[in-house]
Structure 1
Amino acid sequence: MVVNSKMFSINGLQYTVRSAIHDDAKNLSDVRVKIDGETENLDREKGEAYIDEAGFKRMIKEDTERSRNLFLVAVVNKRIVGFSRCEGSKLKRTSHKVEFGVCVLEEFWGYGIGKNLLLESIHWAEHNQVNKITLSVLETNENAIKLYKKYGFEVEGVLKKDKLLSDGNYYNTLLMARFNGVE
């Protein structure tokens, strides 16, 4: 699905959050690899599960056409600095929910980009009969957990010793969800 773009200005940085377009594919492929190498908060290490330009073009096309998918990018001076996706299911029994994921280049942390990608996704979900947004987050990512809780997400479960990080230790993954109009 495509949504209207929105401008933000935070701490002197101006950026736009908009739907991903076909021409973003190459930039998205490069940005994803870079982000994966900057933090252990994501599932992948740098270069793992690589998605090339053609793969992103397919993903953008599908996300644009499907009413239960949303692919957003954050753009600073024509450069993609972060992105998020909500991916819904084609199955009737799970069609009421989407899975959310977000990532932002480290040099752009602290400007509310992740927060605004999240809020735009929540807004989209609330206006498109998406009743549940799910996500997973590493237990050590305290800033993200605090942000998710602030905007109505709650912990639904814990995957124990789910991720093996570079320090040789295992860490838990929290499964979180936000419910829109469902009791």
Structure 2
Amino acid sequence: MAIMKIRHIDIADTENLRALMQQVEAESNFMLYESGERDISIERQKTMIESIQDQENAAIFLADLDGDLVGYLIAVGGKAKRTKHSVYLVIGILADFRSKKIGTKLFQALEVWAQEKDIHRLELTVVTGNEAGLGLYKKAGFEVEGTKRDSLLIDGEYVDEYYMAKLL
């Protein structure tokens, strides 16, 4: 039986994370970047990972299924003294692995880490039509704080995003 492990990223995951992010963007119409829009070099990806690892209030969590990455959750903390208590989140899960509690497990790992780091606010944005994402975030305790009108242009249509947050 396959074993799902939620873990922090390691620099050795650079290429696999890059491939995972590209696949998630190709499979979902709700990510910020369209399929193939950003071509991140291995070196830039490595630099991004190192930068997050060096930041006290930032982390990358991976959903690792027997050595294969199937999901990620990136938490980027505020850099100013007044925003260090807050992290902005980006999550991505491969289509074949959605609705299998992976998102829930990623958020649980995030919260343990956040409490250890004295993080008080978790925030993210989600396309209002992304019902699966909205369901996951609400289940994890996030609340809608507002609507970003015409926030993204997807397939020639302007779409709104919800600004969501959870206070710890």
Q: Confirm or deny that 1:24 pairs with 2:13.
A: yes
TM-superposed CA distance for 1:23, in Å, is 0.8
Aligned to 1:140: 129
Q: Confirm or deny that 1:43 pairs with 2:43.
A: no
Name the amino acid aligned to 1:120: A
Q: Percent identity?
A: 29
For 1:35-114, list aligned pairs within 5 A: 35-114=24-103
* Deviation string, structure 1 residues 29-82 (Cα, Å, up to 9, x no partner): 111111101111111111223322112211221222211001111111211111
CA distance in 1: counterparts of 2:31 and 2:45, whole angstroms: 18
Name segments (4+ residues, structure 1) moved above 6 Å: none
Aligned to 2:165: 177
Aligned equivalent of 2:142, options 153, 156, 159: 153
Aligned to 1:5: none
Structure 1: gaps (5+ residues): 1-11
Contact 1:13/1:111 (<8 A) preserved: no
Normalising by structure 1, report the TM-score.
0.86
TM-superposed CA distance for 1:116, in Å, is 1.1
CA distance in 2: counterparts of 1:77 and 1:55, whole angstroms: 26
Contact 2:18/2:40 (<8 A) preserved: yes
1:44 aligns to what SS in structure 2? coil
* Deviation string, structure 1 residues 103-135 (Cα, Å, up to 9, x no partner): 011111122112211121122112221010110
- What is the count of residue pairs matched by the alignment? 168
Normalising by structure 2, report the TM-score.
0.93
Contact 2:104/2:140 (<8 A) preserved: no
Contact 1:29/1:51 (<8 A) preserved: yes
Aligned to 1:4: none
Contact 1:88/1:99 (<8 A) preserved: yes
CA distance in 2: counterparts of 1:108 and 1:64, whole angstroms: 26
CA distance in 2: counterparts of 1:125 and 1:92, whole angstroms: 17
Structure 2: gaps (5+ residues): none
Contact 1:25/1:56 (<8 A) preserved: yes
